[in-house]
Amino acid sequence: MAKIVIDPISRIEGHLKIEVVVEDGVVKDAHSTGTMFRGFEIFLKGHNPTDAQHYTQRICGVCPTSHGMTAVLNLDSALGVDDKIPDNGRIIRNLIQGANYIQSHILHFYHLAALDYVDVTAVADYSGNDPGLTKVQQFIGRALAAGDNSMLGPFWPRYEGDYRLSKAINVKAVQDYVEALNMRRIAHEMSAIFSGRIPHSPALVAGGATQGPTEDNVAAFRAKLTKLRKFTDEVYIPDVIAVAEAYSDHFEQGFGCGNVLSYGVFDLDGKEKDLAKRQRFLPQGIASGLNAGIFDPRKITEDVKYGWFSSGSGYPGDTDTVDDPNKSGAYTWLKAPRYDGNVYEVGPLARVLVAYLAGDTTAQKLVNDTLAHFGAPPAALFSTLGRHAARALECKMVADAMDKWLDELKPGEPVNVKTEIPDSAQGMGLWEAPRGALGHWISIKDQKIERYQCVVPSTWNCSPRDNNDQPGALEQSLIGAKVKDEANPFEVVRIVRAFDPCLACAVHVVSPKGHEKGRFQIC
Amino acid sequence: MTTQLTRRNFVGLCAGSTAALGLSLFKNPEFERLFAAGLNEVPVIWFQGSGCNGCSVSALNGFPVTIQDLLLSEVVTGSHVSLRFHNTVMAAQGDLAMQALYDTETGPFALIVEGGIPLKDGGIYCEVGEKDGHGIPMTETIERLGKKAIATIALGTCASSGGISASPPNPGEVVGVAEFYKQKGITTPVINITGCPPHPDWLVVPLAQVLMDGPESVEVDEDLRPKTIYSKLIHDQCPRRGQFDAGKFAEKFGDPDCLFKLGCKGPICHADCNDRLWNNKTRWCIEAGAPCIGCAEMAFPSGLGPIHEPMDITEDKIGDKAALGLAGATLATMGVLAVTKNKSGNAGH
């Protein structure tokens, strides 16, 4: 039996450590640990409530838009304007958020996940005239000429062994890695048209947005969106399929808890006050396996038995956050969110599956066609590759829908309503970050924030054991995984990254046998 | 496809701010010599602490100096950044990642720190790896790396002054790099690149200067920020300055007038956003109808008061009173001022 500790887990957002115990090549136990704490819920107390949309964006530089959006929905409800948002404001919010979905999904697949599947060294003897590949080839050549592999940072060192793509596909994938850097930048530029700048847009405000549409802005947005839709259709989805074909055993890795949850995202209706009933492009819902259920926000709780917190467990609208780094038995800075007492996975897989089960014909066609390509049943979505496929298909669904939303903007009409801060109020914002269900809860007293709680996607997915000792979704997906080489545990990090963790931390893998330092090989 | 940072591009990046200062980065013949010199490999360790990774994400948006240039090519002719450690993009993880760090710090390297440094309880509020079964605090690592680095760029407001992570009551006891170095007696030069996040150019311009002629060549202000970037007030560049001077103020978002009463921090915020614009010159905050939130100031965010409340521009913290001119007096007469009385460091508390 060997314990593998990966700390830091790189190519994620935040600080995460993963420990797994491997016996006879199979993971028997797993622990997920968040290793950083900042305390937003603590320092937001006493602030003007409208500071929340700006402060909470700074929880995450990759998905700030989602926190900004969830905060303004939270404030819309607390300030009593949640049924008064003008259509222009609702649509512009969706467009700013949609741009960030595309950016985040492209970033995740190419720049965070791909290096676990793609061998960059395949480009070492490239002799064509693609400028991106030429840069990579020269970069590798520089290290070769100097005889110094360390010059290959940040692409070296790495786990060695299980790279399976053909040379031609590897070269294509590296080319697409470079082009994807441009595409995710263009997605940010698209967001900035309405959001002013990104990351950390100042333009998400309670009551709507700060800038109305003009014909020029709509045309500029559409031009960038068209490039991104083409990239998604012609590059991103085909690359995911090419990786899946070579690594098809990863359809059988990382099953997880089997339950999914989506709060729903992209409002199609600005008049329904109850966010659990609001019509959304990607709908609210839960599912156990392939059986759909009804979502009720009052069933959300957070457990703290294994988190470094002295505050209690319970519904996020009623609880507090008090750090206690020396708490006995705890092993992470994360709380353990649960729904109706059970473990749920959130993220693109959850959203696409909930839409699929709700009868969304676009989701059904995309998913069915993809599964048919591999001869796989819908249950195969609950896997490492299923999560990547769902993310890519969702990227297409959102990008295509955004083109239609642009047509619904009405230049010259209002983009927001004026808001006033009440003496006291409660609010709740439910939304979906690219990584999954995101909820903010606020209590206002004397026009100040009395209490603010955020339950973020990666606390759902990367949570520790709960009060009943049930492992979190990622922990469960690691248990049962097959690990071929304990010194190069590709399977572990592939499973972790498929969830797209966002902790601003790293995973620690340590083998008691020690590990051989990976050797860089030029083919 | 992208262009590499040639001398012309670099001059272009610097042009807005240097022209304003009446300076030329290239009047120094040493720069010319270095541009013509041979290949220079500069290992860089980019370390993330108590922050959100937004500075890294913003750096990915660089243009015309793209992230491809930073990763793969010459940042300035003859000088490569060799990014040996960066948690969000590096292939290595776990022990391999930590070993890459240890290997790099045996020779000369430049250090970029993103995020603040939490001091509480021996630094356990941010652990950055594991060794011999124990978490390694960021404090321990930065103290060691800081002593060895040829220069440190504190990237972003968190690394510069603690930023949002240091908001009262500062649960993790977070400080910026310069304060941390002071406490530890570390004398390595620190350049603060404030901004939450910083514009990608704000990193590339001083980084290129450091590569070309060492950290001493970067002229900094009292907050250790490069003067070429942080000398001008947003207020002085603002396209709505005319409305401010005329006393016309937006009452709600979407109105075309001055955003002061909706909380604009332009009168105290030093940065060249209006020259550079954001996201490949797409837009900037005020152009999108959003007030400047003052993110390039060391006091951001909690020292600047509620973000959407008008600030008191009569207070001492407003460095450049002349910039406000008569308009400030006009505002005082109009009763716009003194709506809030937040002293630095305590928004709404």
pLDDT value for B72: 80
For A53-185, where are the E strands, in sequence order? none
pLDDT value for B13: 55
Q: Is the pLDDT of residue B152 over 50?
A: yes
Helices B7-21 and B200-213 pack at an angle, to 10 degrees, of 100
- A37/chain B closest Cα distance in angstroms: 5
pLDDT value for A309: 87
State the average pLDDT for chain B.
82
CA A103 to chain centre: 11
Of A111, A135, A212, the CB nearest to B73: A135
Of A6, A50, A209, the CB nearest to B308: A50
Of A139, A146, A515, the CB nearest to B95: A515
pLDDT value for A110: 97
pLDDT value for A440: 95
Interface of A with B in 5-44 (CB under 8 A): 5-15, 17, 35-39, 42-43
Question: Which range (A11-25, A69-83, A197-211, B169-183) has the least confidence?
Answer: A11-25
CB contact under 8 A, A48 and B283: no
Of A156, A414, A415, the CB nearest to B91: A156
CB contact under 8 A, B84 and A131: no
CA A283 to chain centre: 17
Summarised one tens digit per residue, pLDDT across range A441-481 is 999 999 999 999 999 999 999 999 999 999 999 999 999 99
Q: Is the pLDDT of residue A507 over 80?
A: no
For A164-206, where are the E strands, in sequence order? 204-205
Annotation marks residue A13 as catalytic:
yes
Instruction: Show residues of chain A in contact with B174, CB under 8 Å.
Output: 38
pLDDT value for A520: 35
SS3 A522: coil
Is some CB atom of chain A closer than 8 A to the CB atom of B74? no
A347 pLDDT band (50/70/90 cuts)?
A: very high
Q: Is the pLDDT of residue B92 over 90?
A: yes
Is some CB atom of chain A closer than 8 A to the CB atom of B42? no
B114 compared with B16, residue with greater pLDDT: B114
CB contact under 8 A, A10 and B92: yes
Instruction: Show residues of chain A in contact with B54, CB under 8 Å.
Output: 58, 60-62, 64, 199-200
CB contact under 8 A, A507 and B93: yes
Instruction: Show residues of chain A in contact with B309, CB under 8 Å.
Output: 48
Q: Is the pLDDT of residue B19 over 60?
A: no
Cα distances (Å, whole numbers) of residue A320 to A263, A303, A316, A317, A502: 22, 12, 8, 8, 22
Q: Is the pLDDT of residue B345 over 80?
A: no
How large a percentage of chain A has pLDDT more than 90?
83
pLDDT value for B194: 98
Burial profile A497-520: b = 16 or more Cβ within 10 angstroms, e = fewer: bbbbbbbbbbbbbbbeeebeebeb
Among A227, A343, A45, residue whose Cα is nearest residue B167: A45
pLDDT value for B125: 83
pLDDT value for B327: 52
Stretch B5-9: mean pLDDT: 50
pLDDT value for A258: 97
Rounded-to-integer distance, Cα A473 and Cα A345, Å: 6
Q: Is the pLDDT of residue A27 over 70?
A: yes
Q: Is the pLDDT of residue B95 over 70?
A: yes
pTM of the model: 0.91
Is some CB atom of chain A closer than 8 A to the CB atom of B87? yes
pLDDT value for A362: 98
A512 pLDDT band (50/70/90 cuts)?
A: very low
Interface of A with B in 295-354 (CB under 8 A): 323, 325-326
Is some CB atom of chain A closer than 8 A to the CB atom of B309? yes
Is some CB atom of chain B closer than 8 A to the CB atom of A154? yes
pLDDT value for A16: 85
Stretch B136-146: mean pLDDT: 95
Cβ(A404)–Cβ(A98) below 8 Å:
no
B287 pLDDT band (50/70/90 cuts)?
A: very high
Is some CB atom of chain A closer than 8 A to the CB atom of B256? no
Annotation marks residue B269 as catalytic:
no
pLDDT value for B127: 83
Instruction: Show residues of chain A in contact with B123, CB under 8 Å.
Output: none
**Between A and B, how many CB-CB pairs are < 8 A?**
317
Annotation marks residue B264 as catalytic:
yes
Of A138, A154, A211, the CB nearest to B91: A154
Stretch A88-110: mean pLDDT: 98
CB contact under 8 A, A203 and B290: yes
How large a percentage of chain A has pLDDT more than 70?
96
How large a percentage of chain B has pLDDT more than 70?
77
Query: Which residue matches tokens 């080489």?
Result: A485
Summarised one tens digit per residue, pLDDT across range B31-68 is 444 444 444 778 999 999 999 999 999 999 988 778 87
B204 CB contacts (<8 Å, ≥6 apart)? B5, B13, B62, B65, B70, B75
Annotation marks residue A454 as catalytic:
no
The pair of structure tokens assigned to B151 is: 């220069």
A35 pLDDT band (50/70/90 cuts)?
A: confident
- A201/chain B closest Cα distance in angstroms: 8
Is some CB atom of chain A closer than 8 A to the CB atom of B78? no
A274 CB contacts (<8 Å, ≥6 apart)? none
- B64/chain A closest Cα distance in angstroms: 11
pLDDT value for B328: 54
Stretch A76-80: mean pLDDT: 98
Q: What is the dihedral of CA A65, A66, A72, A78, to 10 degrees?
A: -160
Question: Which range (A285-289, A319-323, B122-126, B160-164) has the least confidence?
Answer: A319-323
pLDDT value for A452: 93
Of A458, A465, A477, A494, catalytic: A458
Rounded-to-integer distance, Cα A268 and Cα A282, Å: 10
Summarised one tens digit per residue, pLDDT across range B251-263 is 999 899 999 999 9
SS3 A105: helix
CB contact under 8 A, B135 and A35: yes
State the average pLDDT for chain A.
92
Of A7, A151, A508, the CB nearest to B41: A151
Interface mutation target, options B240, B253, B281, B292, chain A, most CBs of A under 10 Å: B253
Annotation marks residue B52 as catalytic:
yes
Q: Which class does domain A2-119+163-506 fall in?
A: mainly alpha
Question: Which range (A154-163, B23-32, B194-203) has the least confidence?
Answer: B23-32
Stretch A510-518: mean pLDDT: 31
Interface of B with A in 142-171 (CB under 8 A): 163-165, 167-171
Summarised one tens digit per residue, pLDDT across range B185-223 is 999 999 999 999 999 999 988 888 887 778 888 999 999
Stretch A25-30: mean pLDDT: 96
Question: Which range (A317-331, B18-32, B131-145) has the least confidence?
Answer: B18-32
